Amino acid sequence: MTEDVRTAPGASEERLDAVYDTALLDLDGVVYAGGEAVAHAVDSLATAREGGMHLAYVTNNALRPPSAVAAHLSELGVPADASDVITSAQAVARLIADEQPEGARVLLIGGEGLRQALVERGLVPVDSADDEPAAVAQGYGGPDFPWSRFAEAGYAVRAGVPWYASNTDLTIPSGRGIAPGNGAAVEVVRIASGGEPKVAGKPLPPMHRETILRTGAKRPLVVGDRLDTDIEGAHAGGVDSLLVLTGVTDVAALLRAVPEHRPTYVGRDLRELLVGHEAPRVEGDGAWACDGARARVADGGLVLEGKGAGAEDGALLDGLRVLCAAAWSAGGERAFDGEIAGAVKALGELGGAWGEGGACVRRRGREGAS
């Protein structure tokens, strides 16, 4: 087993907002979902900001420009400026500008956020494959994006025009559940054209580069809800991460995570920024313990023991940490493939505070576009 394989959540004696200078926060599923603020997000971020932590909002959603995202955050009670927001539209625009001449025409397949990002880099958005574009830029266009735009992308890519995608997230959280994301739209163009895009968004290096260039973070903490973008991106960038269970990832997926998807810290929501984190410890019988919670692998399956199966939030977190440690250490360099249903059920018996599969689904705020 390689030395960098994480086998248990990490520890921090100090609060995370005191240890890290910048929180690189995902938006959809972390700060808000469907336009509504996630429970505890507003108060937790205010406390972290007052303590001196720089808050930056890093999203793979390329639909809206940073100014619109900042305005939305401010309406929810999270004060933000456009300079605090980094989008995959900005990352892909920089990638295109690095590879195409200034003033190049770019076929725009996306929303206003992508259009503004291209213009910022000295590129000229066009709307038709007949406009002789030097590149195709595709980003999330929203739930009502016209099907004809995918056809334009397909025509251009099939003709040999270089194709760039802001991100390939297959899904996106919404106020009504999980909806198709830009990755699903990219697949439509891929099928029609036979092409392969260059991708800029999380978890790939162009997005990490864009984030560091714009924030100047020296000791960042990535905070997200997705294993395959937020956490994998942090792993690729060599920085620590916090997974919150308020979006796409549930407990079952977390327990079966491969090494590059295992976060440094785990928790319910953004309140985890404001506390220290106790690391599970392995005991003589091979079980993992954290305060009063214990977890082990027995007969090929995970077993949760002690107060970690109880209803208090502290006990819940202890239980979550020891289950991760037991599963990750048993899985090693691969995903744990044993039985987990009983352990997840024991952890989730909290009277409705956690949703099916172990994802926290409590929200508050207003309805609106995500």
Phi/psi zone of residue 180: left (φ > 0), alpha (ψ -120 to 50 degrees), beta? beta
Closest among 132, 86, 88 to 107, alpha carbons compared? 132
Given 28, 230, 250, 318, which residue is catalytic?
A: 28
Three-class DSSP category at 55: strand
**What Å distances lie between residue 16 and 7, 30, 263, 275, 355, CA to CA?**
20, 16, 14, 6, 26
Beta-bridge partner residues of 44: none
98 is catalytic: no
* CB 304, CB 343: distance < 8 Å: yes
d(CA 175, CA 85): 21
28 is catalytic: yes
| Residue 127: both structure tokens together | 């709307």
Given 17, 26, 225, 228, which residue is catalytic?
A: 26
Beta strands per DSSP E along 291-343: 293-298, 301-306
Beta strands per DSSP E along 74-127: 85-87, 105-109, 124-126
Angle formed at CA 266 by CA 262 and CA 271, multiple of 5 degrees: 150
Residue 235 burial (C-beta neighbours within 10 Å; 0-12, 13-18, 19+): buried
Instruction: Report, as residue numbers or ranges, the catalytic residues.
Output: 26, 28
